[in-house]
Structure 1
Amino acid sequence: MNQSPPPAETQQDCEVQVHGLQTEPTRTTTARAVSWLDWFWVFVVSDGLQDSCCSEHRMEVSFRGKHALVTGAGKGIGRDLVLALAHGGAKVTAVTRTQADLNSLVQECPSITPVCVDLADWGATEAALKDIGPIDLLVNNAACAKLQPFLEVTQDQFEQSFSVNVKAVLQVSQLWQSTLLKIVARGMKARGSGGSIVNVSSQASQCALRDHAVYCATKGAVDMLTKVMALELGPHQIRVNAVNPTVVLTQMGRLGWSDPEKVKTMTSRIPLGRFAGQPLQHLQAVFLSFISSGSQPYLYKHIVQNCCEFGLCSWFIIGCFTVF
């Protein structure tokens, strides 16, 4: 099979809009199974809205009074998610390494707080984020992908990918406020107010893909890191979940899937026969479920996939656990 040349490394700043039902926060420490209504919003509403372009068919969710931090915010999922959160009333801190992307983002939405930093640099990340204040909602979306055959992987490529895709998830989820207190996970715990962390993983964590050895490995690590974070942070009312889309045709998605023959092998397993080509396809109800602090208080340690390996065209959930 002929494949296109491996694309250059790029920052994942993918695409989404949040649409959902405004709900009031609820809090409990009683064990409870996830209800059918929880899954209704993920499966039915997501599919029902994905092709709708009419604003009257879009539901709004309020994030007023919340401070959200989104990494990989310059393009794609991250950029559109930042705009959706800001539209919902959240105070949003947008993090990316490309200043030009931040400039255009602030021009489009002046209320956003921009932070330009390379998340592969631990020290620079700590310095850039240490004073941003308490965080209620965190989306670890930043990632890089340099695709090459397994035998051609270099040490630099391996270390860069794991630094951005895995190490940055761990560090930003901790976020130093001082040498003794971290303002996301530890800050949420100290305030007792809880919060939500969403790690953007990938279907590549579950399905082996040619030329994706390092990328698949990093996303597999993100999935397991998500489960451990949920296990340890759940008792402090901090929900941690992962969202695992298959190919979304963002800038990075197009670079990796530009060869028609390569695309055909993947889309042949999807009943609709296509990737998610627009930002909001399949994503809005999922992000609503996991980001909104009060809308889904019982969802913990979930990995949500749009996985063509199993022949599905929509989202399904594996690892359904509740911590409380």
Structure 2
Amino acid sequence: MGLLSLFKTQRSRPKIFQKVSHELLSELAENNAWLSDYLEHQDKIARINWQGVFTYLEQSAVDKKHLITHQELTLLWLNQLRSQLSQQFFIYQSDHFIILSNGDDKFLNKLFKMTEAIYRRIKSALADILDPKFDAAENFKHPIFVTSDIDLYYDYVSYFYPEDGEFQQSSGVFLRYGINHFVVPESEFEQLEAVVAHELTHAMLSHLSLPVWVDEGLAVNTETMITRQANYRLNPQKNSRHNDFWNEKTIQEFWSGEGFQKPGETSELCYHLAQIIVASMAEEHPSFVEFVRNAKYPDSGEAAAYKVFGGSLGAIIEQFFGPGDWSPKPDQWSANQ
């Protein structure tokens, strides 16, 4: 063996991802033709009736008719989506991810290295909160749909948002629909790190029924840690904006989660308030972990706050904005939303 050949051999490393073969996808589709019965053509992209799919699979498990793993169902679904796209999309997988993308090998190698590294850091940072049974489940991988076509991105994600009102521009979303997955436009690679860190945190916490503010606060702070962004605490200018905006009525948009979906200042201040509250609470780590494990969406974590801290969440808001009736009031949310 020549020196050049030896040098090349020593430098060659196996890819951290593999392309899912056409043969495997074809076999999956052939063995699961029943999926076509649950396609709904409502827009440019045929969607799956997931409620129907899960009902079918539950009954099939009882009858021992069709047994399918989470990973197989993910591949089956992504292959169905891939078949509708005009571009040359392919499905790839690594240890913890299945990605549908039309990117080249160079982009994919960077993407998979980044996602696996972020996965390890999130798993370490949130080790006390994550349920080890959740992500250690056999054949479980996180699905990501990545596209360089920004129009396709918005065609896909707009289906999951109300038709009325202004659509919030985004650089990536985590969708709790059917198989939980997140969708990102390829855009500039530098932006992807923050998006993946934020959305993967949502994905890894999705087994919990968290209030929106807790979920977003954890995601923003994890994103900040991974991307090494400045820890954005209250400064005089930001504090003034918060004081002008929040009152006993608008705070309910924060607790209910509605404000996070509103474009403009409301969304911006909701995300920032969630970030600083979660960062503040996390300073008492054992108590914060217990709170997160008990916090539930319907009351925005109010019962968990009484259980762990012995008082209302409103007391935390008072620390920043002074006395007032800041507590969550779920009975008012239906009127607000």
TM-score, length-normalised on structure 2?
A: 0.24
More strand by share: 1
Structure showing greater Rg: 2
- Higher RCO by CA contacts (8 Å cutoff, separation 6 or greater): 1
More helix by share: 2
